[in-house]
């Protein structure tokens, strides 16, 4: 069982992150996944989070209670949700937008400049796919093959290739991060 | 009642990762709904969007009306024009629909209304869940009447129950409600849509006799009269006034008794065929938690914790909300210490439970103001307390 929270502000593709991952898991990785989201009435800029429960069997309780993985793409999201991340959990954060407190070893921290990478690929809109690449590489909760299969239908066809590139960029970067700082796995994730 | 396989044009066979709102639209298309009139409102808009996008390929029509009053009025016209019809809304829109809900009930017009509930009163919390419209759908239009209401707890059930809602609606010529909520509406899970041949669809009971003998109503309190399409040359009348079998106004107390008794009895006398419950470890339980919709999934955790704590706890999920499962609740009341009823409102269906229990056991309400689901611990505490 995994509990994952994606968080940031509206417009960063936070909901889409969980949607792609949930679809990948439940349709191509043979897992059960339940995705919930919380958002305000604003379309852009408001606080936004999406949650994913992943299990080998049917999920009854649909909510994330103590996530083992947190993706934080904004300072607000980090401040709100980092304290709710499980001890020993994985924190992947936007290196240029989030200034975390000093690493006290409570959680495993992986910074990734996902927006900058996306801009290098031509548009900051691809930041969420870069993020998903990092997430897949670091946590291994979902396979990269399933993630790519999940994209059609959730990403406009004309942007599929560039989004796959963004995913690969994040995936490679995530593997690099792991080399420097291997993941300590346990029941936390 | 004529059952057939679904029309493949409306069936998106296969596995999908869908939210509840989209699953409702797919259920409607699979059930043969080909006319949708609605007005967008959070958190139900995705159903309308999906139907609008998908229905042309299935030969259907979507129309965005000027408001919810017009939307349900268009459904009445669409149904008498020969289509299976639906709309979707949330609290504020539902309030506007109440007058014409009565007209639909009185004219025995089949339709499906999905209410993706958000927290009220008034515009309340548009993007957050509630279960606060449970009594409004039952009593919100004036006069005595019955409707049917089903309550899904997952996107898969949004699909399945929407198909069933259309089947019930055609069988009893009555508006049927899908009582979803923001959480189920926006929650994504895997939804498996079976092949068209495996989906059982109740077709409209079309009249086939001589034109001059057609009667749009029969007041048996059990079965409903066959329908025809407006414009096909039949002479009949549709009115909200108390009417005779031809549909013409017949304003007497005797006729009113016939009509109103029929509206009530056609549902009450078939309640056993309509009501569906999902029970778990109810036999031998000391405490039974009665819940519905998204709350049932929160209850699942509380019940598991209570059982681990050694309390004999059963769970009963109301899949059918209206007609209410009063017989089964009454039966339980004689066997258990207490019934616990959590719901995301300040106590609506708990009143029905209390009425059915009639003092035979304790009934504990676990209310919630809306905007979120219960904390499972709050339900657990209520179970512990009730078991004493």
For B17-24, what is the mean pLDDT? Answer: 98
Distance (Å, rounded) from C-alpha A179 to C-alpha A52? 26
Neighboring chain B residues of A37 at a CB cutoff of 8 Å:
186
Radius of gyration, CA atoms only, chain B: 21
Residue of B nearest to A154 (CA): B17
Interval B96-123: pLDDT, tens:
999 999 999 999 999 999 999 999 999 9
With an 8 Å Cβ cutoff, is B90 touching chain A?
no
Which of B45, B188, B295, B378 is the best substitution to test chain A (most A C-beta atoms within 10 A)? B188
pTM over 0.90: yes
Of A130-134, B29-33, B34-38, B229-233, the poorest mean pLDDT is in B229-233
Q: Is residue A23 part of a domain?
A: yes
Residues B374-378, mean pLDDT to the nearest whole number: 96
Minimal Cα distance from B124: which residue of A?
Answer: A41
Full domain range(s) for residue A17: 2-180
A43 touches chain B (CB under 8 A): no
How many structural domains does chain A have?
1
**Strand arrangement, sheet containing B287-291:** B277-280, B313-318, B287-291, B338-342, B362-366
Rounded to 5 degrees, what are φ and ψ at B258?
A: -60, -45
Q: Would you say the C-alpha torsion B67, B69, B75, B80 has a positive or negative sign? A: negative
Nearest chain A CA: its distance from B344 CA (Å): 16
Q: According to the model, what pLDDT value does residue B241 have?
A: 98
Task: Find the residue in A nearest to B376 (Cα).
Answer: A61
Residue A22 near chain B (CB below 8 Å): yes
Nearest chain B residue to A40 by CA distance is B127
Can you tell me the ipTM of this complex? 0.91
The C-alpha atoms of residue A94 and residue B26 are separated, in whole angstroms, by 38
Q: Which residue of A has its CA nearest to B187?
A: A36
Question: Is A91 contained in some domain?
Answer: yes
pLDDT band at B230 (very low <50, low <70, confident <90, very high): very high
Q: Can you give the pLDDT at residue B377? A: 96
pLDDT in tens, B152-166: 999 999 999 999 999
Which tokens hold the place of B244?
């005779």
As a whole number of angstroms, the distance between CA A117 and CA A162 comes to: 12
Q: B188 to chain A: which residues are within 8 Å by CB?
A: 18-19, 22-23, 33-36
Where residue B89 falls among pLDDT bands split at 50, 70, 90?
Answer: very high
Cβ neighbour number for residue B320 with a 10 Å cutoff = 20
Q: What is the mean pLDDT of residues B252-265?
A: 98
The pLDDT, as a whole number, for residue B1 is 76
Q: Count the neighbouring beta carbons within 10 Å of the beta carbon of residue B206.
A: 12
Measured between CA atoms, the residue of chain A closest to residue B19 is: A35
Q: Of A37, A47, A62, which to mutate for an interface test with B (greatest number of B Cβ within 10 Å)?
A: A62
Q: Is the dihedral of CA A79, A80, A84, A86 positive or negative?
A: negative
Kind and range of the H or E run holding B23: helix B20-31
Residue A184 structure tokens: 């300590």
Give the closest residue to A141 by CA, choosing from A26, A62, A16, A39.
A26
Q: What's residue A40's pLDDT?
A: 64
Give the CATH number, domain containing residue A10.
3.40.920.10
Residue A189 lies in a domain: no
Q: Which residues does chain A have within 8 Å of residue B298's beta carbon, measured at their own beta carbons? A: 61
Tell me how close the Cα of B345 comes to any Cα of chain A, in angstroms: 20
- Pick out chain A residues at pLDDT < 50: none
Mapping DSSP onto H, E and C, the string for chain A reads CEEEEEEEECCCCHHHHHHHHHHHHHHHCCCEEEEEEEECCCCCCCEEEEEEEEECCCCCCCCCCCCCEEEECCHHHHHHHHHHCCCCCEEEEECCCCCCCCCCCCCEEEEECHHHHHHHCCCHHHHHHHHHHHHHHHHCCCCHHHHHHHCECCECHHHHHHHHHHHHHHHHHHHHHHHHCCCCCCCCC
**Do you find a cis peptide bond into B121, omega within 30 degrees of 0?**
yes
Q: Is B42 on the interface with A (CB under 8 A)?
A: yes
In a domain, A67, yes or no: yes
Residue B211's Cβ-count burial label (10 Å; 0-12, 13-18, 19+) is exposed
Does any domain span residue A166?
A: yes
Q: Is residue A188 in a domain?
A: no
Domains annotated for chain B, with CATH where assigned, are: 2-203 (3.40.50.970), 279-387 (3.40.50.920)
Q: Do B190 and A32 touch (CB under 8 A)?
A: yes
Give the pLDDT score at B200: 98
pLDDT at A37: 85
Q: Which residues of A touch B294 (CB under 8 A)?
A: 62
Is A27 part of the contact surface with chain B (CB cutoff 8 Å)?
yes
Predicted confidence at residue A10, as pLDDT, reads 84
The neighbouring-strand residues paired with B31 are none
Q: Is residue A169 part of a domain?
A: yes
Asked if the C-beta of B158 comes within 8 angstroms of chain A's C-beta atoms, the answer is: no
Does any domain span residue A186? no
Q: Is B189 close to A35, i.e. CB distance below 8 A?
A: yes
Tell me what pLDDT residue A48 has.
Answer: 86
């Amino acid at each position: 069982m995994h509990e994952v929270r994606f968080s940031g502000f509206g417009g960063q593709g936070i909901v889409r992150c969980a949607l792609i991952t949930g679809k990948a898991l439940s349709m191509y990785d043979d897992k059960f996944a339940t995705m919930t989201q919380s958002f305000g009435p604003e379309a852009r800029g408001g606080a936004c989070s999406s949650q994913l429960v992943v299990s080998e069997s049917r999920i009854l309780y649909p909510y994330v209670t103590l996530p083992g993985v947190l993706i934080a793409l904004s300072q607000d999201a980090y401040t709100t949700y980092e304290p709710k991340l499980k001890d020993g959990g994985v924190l992947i954060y936007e290196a240029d937008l989030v200034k975390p407190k000093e690493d006290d070893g409570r959680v495993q921290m992986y910074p990734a400049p996902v927006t900058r990478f996306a801009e290098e690929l031509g548009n900051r809109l691809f930041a969420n796919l870069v993020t998903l690449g990092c997430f897949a590489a670091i946590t291994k909760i979902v396979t990269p093959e399933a993630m790519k299969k999940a994209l059609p239908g959730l990403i406009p066809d004309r942007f599929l290739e560039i989004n796959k590139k963004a995913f690969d960029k994040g995936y490679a970067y995530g593997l690099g991060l792991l080399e420097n700082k291997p993941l300590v796995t346990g029941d936390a994730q | 009642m004529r059952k057939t396989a679904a029309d493949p044009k409306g069936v998106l066979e296969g596995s999908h990762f869908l939210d509840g709102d989209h699953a409702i639209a797919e259920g409607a298309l699979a059930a043969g709904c080909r006319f949708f009139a609605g007005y967008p409102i959070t958190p139900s808009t995705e159903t309308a969007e999906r139907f609008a996008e998908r229905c042309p390929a299935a030969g259907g029509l979507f129309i965005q009306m000027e408001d919810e009053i017009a939307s349900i009025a268009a459904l009445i016209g669409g149904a008498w024009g020969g289509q299976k019809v639906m709309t979707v809304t949330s609290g504020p829109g539902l309030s506007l629909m109440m007058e014409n809900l009565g007209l639909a009930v009185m004219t025995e017009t089949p339709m499906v209304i999905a209410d993706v509930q958000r927290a009220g009163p008034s515009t309340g919390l548009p993007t957050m869940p509630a279960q606060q419209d449970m009594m409004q759908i039952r009593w919100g239009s004036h006069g005595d009447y019955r409707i049917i209401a089903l309550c899904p707890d997952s996107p898969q059930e949004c699909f399945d129950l929407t198909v069933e809602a259309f089947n019930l609606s055609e069988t009893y010529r009555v508006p049927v409600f899908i009582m979803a909520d923001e959480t189920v509406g926006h929650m994504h899970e895997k939804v498996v849509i079976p092949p068209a041949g495996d989906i059982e669809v109740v077709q409209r009971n079309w009249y086939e006799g001589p034109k001059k003998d057609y009667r749009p109503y029969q007041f048996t309190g059990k079965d409903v009269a066959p329908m025809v399409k407006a414009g096909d040359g039949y002479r009949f009348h549709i009115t909200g006034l108390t009417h005779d079998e031809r549909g013409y106004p017949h304003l007497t107390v005797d006729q009113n008794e016939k009509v109103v008794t029929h509206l009530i009895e056609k549902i009450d006398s078939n309640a056993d065929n309509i009501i569906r419950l999902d029970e778990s470890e109810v036999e031998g339980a000391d405490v039974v938690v009665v819940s519905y919709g998204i709350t049932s999934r929160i209850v699942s955790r509380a019940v598991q914790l209570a059982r681990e704590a050694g309390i004999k706890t059963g769970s009963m999920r109301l899949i059918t909300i209206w007609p209410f499962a009063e017989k089964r609740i009454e039966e339980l009341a004689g066997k258990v210490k207490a019934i616990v009823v959590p719901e995301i409102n300040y106590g609506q269906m708990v009143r029905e439970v209390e009425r059915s229990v009639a003092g035979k056991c304790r009934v504990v309400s676990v209310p919630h103001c809306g905007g979120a689901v219960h904390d499972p611990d709050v339900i657990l505490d209520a179970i512990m307390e009730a078991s004493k």
